[in-house]
Amino acid sequence: MKEKDLLVNCPEHQLILYAEKNDGTYGPVQTGAYTAGNHISEHYKIVGNLNKSLIERLQNGEISPIYYYMMIEDLSVSELAGRTRISKICVKKHITPEGFKKVSISKLKRYADVLNIPLANMFQIIHTIEDRNWDIGYQEDIGSSKSSSISQVNTKNQFLVETKVIQKLK
Amino acid sequence: MTQIPFRHIMAAHCESGTVTALLNHHGLNITEPMVFGIASGIFFAYFKTPMMDFPMFAVRSMPGQVRIKFAKRTGVKFKTKKYRNPAKAEKELNDLLDHNQPVAVQVDFFYMNYFPPWFRIHVNVHFITIIGREGNKYYVSDSYHPQIAEIDREALTKSRFAGGSMAPKGFMFYPVHIPDKIDLGKAIKDGLKGTIYNMLKIPLPFVGVKGIRRFADKIVDWPGYARDEDMLADRIFKITVFLEDQGTGGGGFRFLYASFLQEASKVLNNPRLNDMSREMMGIGDSWREISLAAARIAKQRDFSRERLMEIGNMLYGRADMEERFFTNLKKELINHI
């Protein structure tokens, strides 16, 4: 492959490919990644669709939060079992809504650590919005002058609430 | 302390890049393709085990083998260590850094938070070089990152002690002995011999050229493993990612191997190897055609048997090409090298 034929414009994801230089020698070329440069929107679409369908199933109590995060992090049951050091048989149970009811807090903490979330997120879905007048977790003292507040509402899933930003009417 | 003076260079592949950078740091002038070629890094395998939700393929040798084989064939010695205790691993890493020793560590790529989120996946066999520390952060030379990066202590520890398949267990390595004179010619010959064995002779139906043919046979079965169309599209896109963007140097490592053959032809003074490097570059181009075809099919979402067989037929073609290539390389090795 000639150097010029490999070049992709993608500053966010640079990599090294080997190609034929102008003088006929082969060597490294720094360029953008082909997939990220050409198909990143497809990736976002796939991840977005997966997230949407999983959230819906989670709200309806059809899947367990452990299953949700396992899928989002693209882990298999075997991989999750290996990482949490919880047996595969137990993981298979815990990813069902019925099995989730029986997970001990200490095991749930192990799942949360491996899935890189706070334990509390096993029991809530957080919806965020982009709002310049409101900063999550910051400047609490000026919160009253802002246009939004946080609300937690129950879902059909008895173990789960939705945490979301409510925009006040002006 | 701050950073150890270390020449950071990007590389095609994390393991060969890390080994090369460490050897360069210790005064051995060697390139990534030479490290990769001597270590017989080029490979092919197609896997589907009951433990796996979806089939996968590999275009390089087992993680760790680049360092092991390169050391065996050149006489370079690496100090290696695994740990059970994260605190002990961190202390020993810090001690080495404080004595100006850059250290390569094995990590779960997911925690390398200097990369964009969409690029980071859970894979336990990424290699980086730690080149300094300051307060709660470490300085990292990562072959896939354009500059020296920083990672916080917590993320580094988590990445070094992630569980699951091929868990890093705190693994680290650094060179402790580089021979005054390395017989590069002999190392290259051993590397060629190892590669020929890997691609043609391993008596397993899913590795080497046989592995490429198995992939060609089985790709039409992929829709049966997918839970939905999105998943299938994602997995077919991953053919492109694995061949081009995930640290292969392009064309599933074939371009990198062509560069090795070109360098080897000069070391061994064998012009025929230079011709073969051109042939390997052409094989790399044809693997890239598969990458582009896979991306097209995934984007168009036409997963009919006929479309998947297009990729299958291309794979059969690459298997034939590589069988011819490595058979000729074997003849060349026996007769002229």
Which token pair is B335?
A: 């007769």
Q: Are residues A113 and A131 in the same domain?
A: no
Domain span holding position A110: 40-119
Q: Are residues A144 and A105 in the same domain?
A: no
Q: Are residues A64 and A82 in the same domain?
A: yes
Q: Are residues A92 and A162 in the same domain?
A: no
Q: Are residues A50 and A113 in the same domain?
A: yes
Mutate to test the interface with B, among A2, A6, A18, A78 (most CBs of B within 10 A): A18
Residue whose token pair is 């709002």? A131
Render pLDDT for A29-64 as a digit per residue (tens, 0 to 9).
999 999 888 888 888 899 999 999 999 999 999 999
Q: Are residues A58 and A113 in the same domain?
A: yes
Give a yes or no: residue B91 inside a domain.
Answer: yes
Total of domains in chain A: 3
Domain span holding position B45: 14-177
Q: Which of A119, A140, A156 is the last residue of a domain?
A: A119
Looking up residue A83, the CATH number of its domain turns out to be 1.10.260
Cα A115 to Cα A64: distance, rounded to the nearest angstrom: 14
- Contact (CB<8Å) A1/B234: no
Q: What is the pLDDT along chain B (337 residues), one digit of tens a residue?
A: 679 999 999 999 999 999 999 999 999 999 999 999 999 999 999 999 887 889 999 999 999 999 999 999 999 999 999 999 999 999 999 999 999 999 999 999 999 999 988 888 999 999 999 999 999 999 999 999 999 999 999 999 999 999 999 999 999 999 999 999 999 999 999 999 999 999 999 999 999 999 999 999 999 999 999 999 999 999 999 999 999 988 899 999 999 999 999 999 999 999 999 999 999 999 999 999 999 999 999 999 999 999 999 999 999 999 999 999 999 999 999 887 7
Q: Are residues A132 and A111 in the same domain?
A: no
Q: Are residues B234 and B117 in the same domain?
A: no
Q: Are residues B251 and B150 in the same domain?
A: no
Q: Are residues B18 and B145 in the same domain?
A: yes
Looking up residue B60, the CATH number of its domain turns out to be 3.90.70.10
Q: Are residues B127 and B224 in the same domain?
A: no
Residue in chain A lying closest to B283 (CA): A1
Total of domains in chain B: 2
Q: Are residues A111 and A152 in the same domain?
A: no
Residues in chain B closer than 8 A to A49 (CB atoms): 230
Mutate to test the interface with B, among A15, A54, A69 (most CBs of B within 10 A): A15
- Contact (CB<8Å) A36/B119: yes
Q: Are residues B47 and B158 in the same domain?
A: yes
Cα distance from B15 to chain A (closest Cα, Å)?
Answer: 14
Q: Are residues B102 and B169 in the same domain?
A: yes
Residues in chain A closer than 8 A to B110 (CB atoms): 73
Count of Cβ atoms closer than 10 Å to residue A14 Cβ: 17
Query: Which residues of A make CB contacts under 8 Å with B?
Result: 1, 6, 12-20, 25-28, 30, 33-36, 38-40, 42-44, 46-47, 49-50, 73-80, 82-85, 114
Q: Are residues B170 and B27 in the same domain?
A: yes
Q: Are residues A52 and A70 in the same domain?
A: yes
Give a yes or no: residue B7 inside a domain.
Answer: no
Q: Are residues B131 and B223 in the same domain?
A: no
Q: Which of A80, A103, A119 is the last residue of a domain?
A: A119
Q: Are residues B135 and B236 in the same domain?
A: no
Q: Are residues A57 and A114 in the same domain?
A: yes
Give a yes or no: residue B144 inside a domain.
Answer: yes
Interface confidence, given as ipTM, is: 0.93
Q: Are residues B43 and B97 in the same domain?
A: yes
Q: Are residues A28 and A89 in the same domain?
A: no
- Contact (CB<8Å) B230/A46: yes
Secondary structure string (H, E, C) spanning chain B: CCECCCCCCCCCCHHHHHHHHHHHHCCCCCCHHHHHHHCCCEEEEEECCCCCCCCEEEEECCCCHHHHHHHHHHCCEEEEECCCCHHHHHHHHHHHHHCCCCEEEEECHHHCCCCCHHHCCCCCCEEEEEEEEECCEEEEECCCCCCCEEEEHHHHHHHHCCCCCCCCCCCEEEEEECCCCCCHHHHHHHHHHHHHHHHHHCCCCCEHHHHHHHHHHHHHHHHHHCCCHHHHHHHHHHHHHHHHHCCCCCHHHHHHHHHHHHHHHHHCCCHHHHHHHHHHHHHHHHHHHHHHHHHHHHHHCCCCHHHHHHHHHHHHHHHHHHHHHHHHHHHHHHHHC
Q: Are residues A112 and A150 in the same domain?
A: no
Q: Which of A100, A119, A138 is the last residue of a domain?
A: A119
Render pLDDT for B200-225 as a digit per residue (tens, 0 to 9).
999 999 999 999 999 999 999 999 99
Q: Are residues B213 and B172 in the same domain?
A: no
Residues in chain B closer than 8 A to A84 (CB atoms): 163
Cα→Cα distances B162→A69, B152, B170, B186, B247, Å: 16, 16, 9, 38, 21
Residue in chain A lying closest to B229 (CA): A46
Mutate to test the interface with B, among A10, A12, A16, A23 (most CBs of B within 10 A): A16
